[in-house]
A and B are shown apart, each in its own frame.
Chain A
Amino acid sequence: MAKILMKGNEALGEAAIRAGGIHYFAYPITPQSEVGEYLCKRLPEVGGTFVQAESEVAVGNMLFGAASSGKRVFTSSSSPGISLMQEAISYIAGAHLPAVFINVVRGGPGLGGILPAQSDYFQATKGGGHGDYRTLVLAPSTVQEAVDLTMLAFHLAQKYRNPAMILADGMIGQMMEAVEFPDKYVEDELPPTDEWAITGCKGRERRIIKSLFLDPVALDKNSFELEKKYQQMREKEVRYESYNIEADNQVLLVSYGTMARICQTVIDELKKKGISVGLLRPITLFPFPAEELCREAGKKNIKAVMSIEMSTGQMVEDVERFVRGQKPVTHYGRTGGIVPSPEEVSEEIMKVLESKKNRG
């Protein structure tokens, strides 16, 4: 398959179509409106659905309705829009339905800015909506990875009958990189949708798709059924990448998305100066690569663990939790649309190493 130069937003849309996600409901919001603009032309070509809804609140609920059909449905939005969809995501999870949400993160809170940030880690991985549910979160760092993970997201959403989110950021959305579209994404066999989908009750008992369980025993049961799925995700779906993990690493960086690419540059620069730093890049933010982090952080050569994220400190809480007190953990980040330069990050790493030296 030939490589094409594509804008991230458009590549995300095309990736969804290649994965069979041809039913799209969305609302424009910077920096991802190009996804909708691209899809409104492409979807009629493949017999898909395109609806520009009246608000993200409506989008989330249209997804709920469309997801109950058993077909592959998705949307794209950015931070404030994803906030409006939280109610629907909670309902979709509670009703055991698959749907894919593409979040091209921008600066917040509030109306925030339109430049990239990574300040939605909590919202994506810790719920966002109400109730005991989780969203499967995948964080790409290149446009090619965004394509691959989008196709994977549809697969996993259907496998687990749960919402899945692509946590990209404004940079990935706006930049152009060479991408290749795999012909099909096949990992393992998927359960058929016609066992639960709403198709009209011809020839069978009627089906009700709901998340209401007034009986406490029934609601407890539903929530623990959801938890069982999340436990399976924790066991089977963790994905991560390591960069320069060597026996002489002094510091372990934990970073995802485009920030991780900057960290790679930092690592290369520091290597030239003789300082060895390693990077653990989570690809799935939920389920987080907890065991891997714990193991890497526990190695004797590691003096400190740093979480580098374009936020005031969100992923660092999970990093602290999974380092389990073995090493000191700090966070470095800028937000508002500021992308830390490699020099800034290097300086921070040197500061951390200095302070460790002084304390001996």
Chain B
Amino acid sequence: MAEAVKSIFKRPRAFTDVVTHYCPGCTHGIIHRLVAEAIDELGIRERTVGVAPVGCSVFIYNYFDTDFLEAAHGRAPALATGLKRTRPELILFTYQGDGDLASIGTAEIIHAANRGEKITTIFVNNAIYGMTGGQMAPTTMPGQVTTTTPYGRDVKWIGFPIRMCELLATLRTPAYVERVSVHTPHHIINAKHAVLKAFRNQVEGKRFTFVEFLSTCPTNWGLTPRESTAWLEKNMLPYYPLGCFKDTYYEEEPE
């Protein structure tokens, strides 16, 4: 007697059925899927609007079955601010890489966070500039070789990498700031809960939620996808600690 076949994992509805342009093993695909799962589980697909960055994920609008805006480099939080303030019923998220958010966009992200815009920012930190061919990012590790630091990042000349979660967590207004990783299935499962929490906070009207994803870039790191996950574990995890940096909304804080 044939038993019922039950699907226990499939591609989320909000994730369109196209082959992405990302490199094999690129963690963008995993993060996209986690965001799509959160959108599905909260039932918000029809009122979610994403804001695309400039970077490898510039074409993210092809991969989500939601309305999308394409921002200028670094400006996604400003666009999201504009749209959320004029249409507060929408759920807004920005999806940004390390150049977009931690370099050209530092003013926009800090102020959107500080004003407490009711948006969710997904920050993909892979310690390098992917789309433009592997240059140094503000998040590049000390000693890491990139096309613009051919002898390794020399902290004496260009300083240490920026830790965005810690920076944003010093602001009083944001509701939720967490750093996660996607280099093993275990970490991906924790990351999924963080993304769900971030979007759920926005649905509940809380202000500014931020999830930083430690990610790999096999192509520009010059490693295979499997080697890249090991490199992340060895080099990035010690400097970028995982965990929740802020989970109180300023109205709940004791005086």
- A–B contact with Cβ pairs below 8 Å: the answer is yes
The residue from B46, B70, B72 contacting A209, defined by CB atoms under 8 A apart: B70
The CA of A210 and the CA of B239, in the complex, are separated in Å by 36
A199 contacts which chain B residues (CB < 8 A)? 67, 87, 90
Interface residue A298 (Cβ < 8 Å from any Cβ of B)? no
Interface residue B248 (Cβ < 8 Å from any Cβ of A)? no
Instruction: For B80, give the chain A residue with the smallest CB separation.
Output: A65
Knowing A54-B108, A55-B107, A65-B81 are in contact, say whether A23-B86 is a contact too (CB < 8 A).
Answer: yes
Contact across chains for B81 and A62 when beta carbons are under 8 A apart: yes
- For chain A residues 173-224, which have a beta carbon within 8 Å of chain B? 198-203, 206-212
Nearest CB of B to A199, in Å: 7
A57 contacts which chain B residues (CB < 8 A)? 75, 78, 107-108
Knowing A200-B49, A206-B68, A209-B69 are in contact, say whether A69-B111 is a contact too (CB < 8 A).
Answer: no
The CA of A25 and the CA of B115, in the complex, are separated in Å by 13
Instruction: For B68, give the chain A residue with the smallest CB separation.
Output: A208
The CA of A91 and the CA of B49, in the complex, are separated in Å by 18
The residue from B58, B82, B90 contacting A63, defined by CB atoms under 8 A apart: B82
Contact across chains for A88 and B107 when beta carbons are under 8 A apart: no
Interface residue A268 (Cβ < 8 Å from any Cβ of B)? no
The CA of A198 and the CA of B47, in the complex, are separated in Å by 10
Count A-B pairs with CB separation below 8 Å: 131
Nearest CB of B to A28, in Å: 15
Interface residue B188 (Cβ < 8 Å from any Cβ of A)? no
Knowing A54-B107, A200-B67, A201-B67 are in contact, say whether A23-B85 is a contact too (CB < 8 A).
Answer: yes
Nearest CB of A to B181, in Å: 30
Contact across chains for B86 and A53 when beta carbons are under 8 A apart: no
Interface residue A67 (Cβ < 8 Å from any Cβ of B)? yes
Flag B55-74 by CB within 8 Å of A: 1 or 0 each.
00010010011111111100
Contact across chains for A58 and B78 when beta carbons are under 8 A apart: yes
Contact across chains for B68 and A61 when beta carbons are under 8 A apart: no
Contact across chains for A62 and B70 when beta carbons are under 8 A apart: no
A23 contacts which chain B residues (CB < 8 A)? 82, 85-86
Interface residue B118 (Cβ < 8 Å from any Cβ of A)? no
Contact across chains for A65 and B70 when beta carbons are under 8 A apart: no
- Taking each of B71, B87, B111, which has the highest tally of chain A beta carbons within 10 Å of its own beta carbon? B87
- For chain A residues 61-100, which have a beta carbon within 8 Å of chain B? 61-69, 71, 73, 87-88, 91, 95
Interface residue A51 (Cβ < 8 Å from any Cβ of B)? yes
Knowing A64-B79, A68-B83 are in contact, say whether A200-B47 is a contact too (CB < 8 A).
Answer: yes
Interface residue B179 (Cβ < 8 Å from any Cβ of A)? no
Nearest CB of B to A51, in Å: 6
Nearest CB of B to A157, in Å: 15
* A interface residues, tally (CB under 8 Å): 39
Contact across chains for A51 and B81 when beta carbons are under 8 A apart: yes
Nearest CB of B to A122, in Å: 22
B72 contacts which chain A residues (CB < 8 A)? 61, 64, 87-88, 91
Instruction: For B85, give the chain A residue with the smallest CB separation.
Output: A49
Knowing A54-B111, A65-B80, A66-B82 are in contact, say whether A200-B75 is a contact too (CB < 8 A).
Answer: no
Contact across chains for B66 and A65 when beta carbons are under 8 A apart: no
The CA of A209 and the CA of B107, in the complex, are separated in Å by 24
Nearest CB of A to B36, in Å: 13
B64 contacts which chain A residues (CB < 8 A)? 206
Interface residue B200 (Cβ < 8 Å from any Cβ of A)? no
B70 contacts which chain A residues (CB < 8 A)? 95, 208-212
Interface residue B45 (Cβ < 8 Å from any Cβ of A)? yes
The residue from B84, B89, B108 contacting A58, defined by CB atoms under 8 A apart: B108
The CA of A300 and the CA of B83, in the complex, are separated in Å by 56
Contact across chains for B85 and A208 when beta carbons are under 8 A apart: no
Contact across chains for B79 and A201 when beta carbons are under 8 A apart: no
**Which 10 pairs across A and B sit closest by C-beta, in order of nearness?**
A65-B82, A65-B79, A66-B82, A210-B70, A61-B78, A62-B82, A61-B75, A202-B46, A200-B47, A54-B111
A-B contacts, 16 listed (Cβ < 8 Å)? A51-B115, A55-B107, A57-B107, A61-B75, A61-B78, A61-B108, A62-B79, A65-B79, A68-B79, A68-B83, A69-B87, A198-B49, A198-B87, A202-B46, A208-B67, A210-B70
**Residues of A near any B CB (own CB < 8 A):** 23, 25, 49, 51, 53-55, 57-69, 71, 73, 87-88, 91, 95, 198-203, 206-212
Additional pairs, 16, CB under 8 Å, beyond known A58-B108, A63-B82 = A49-B86, A54-B111, A57-B75, A57-B78, A61-B72, A64-B72, A66-B85, A68-B79, A69-B86, A73-B82, A73-B86, A200-B89, A207-B68, A208-B68, A209-B69, A210-B70
